[in-house]
Amino acid sequence: MILINICKEIITEESALDGEAAESWMDVENAERTFKELVREIEGKQASQYPITSPENVWFTECGEMDYVTGEEENTSIHYSRDNSPNNLKYWIAAIKAAGFKTAGI
């Protein structure tokens, strides 16, 4: 099993002007995922690096729909947990590649 952290953030019109989130929090810490589950979960999301050169530091974000009443948008990001065993990094990298992301030097 590969451990991931799931983070959420809320972007408002005001916070977007400052390039910041209005709120951010850890939604789930050390969630266990199989290789196949991880690939499905990161597919179609936006990587924080392009190409990915530092896989242990990359995260994958799905931007939510804007609420036209409040102007808020809730985004969800998946991060590699630092609590993984050293051996799990190779599976994280393999999942990144299986999900179709461009990598360089890894």
Q: Residues 25-49: pLDDT tens digits?
A: 999 999 999 999 999 999 999 999 9
- Per-residue pLDDT band for 4 (boundaries 50, 70, 90) equals very high
- Please tell me the number of Cα atoms within 13 Å of 15 on its side-chain side: 14
The pTM (predicted TM-score) of the whole model is 0.89
pLDDT for the residue numbered 14: 87
Q: Residues 48-101: pLDDT tens digits?
A: 999 999 999 999 999 988 888 888 999 999 999 999 999 999 999 999 999 999
Q: How far is CA 59 from CA 11, 24, 25, 71, 76, in A?
A: 18, 15, 15, 25, 10
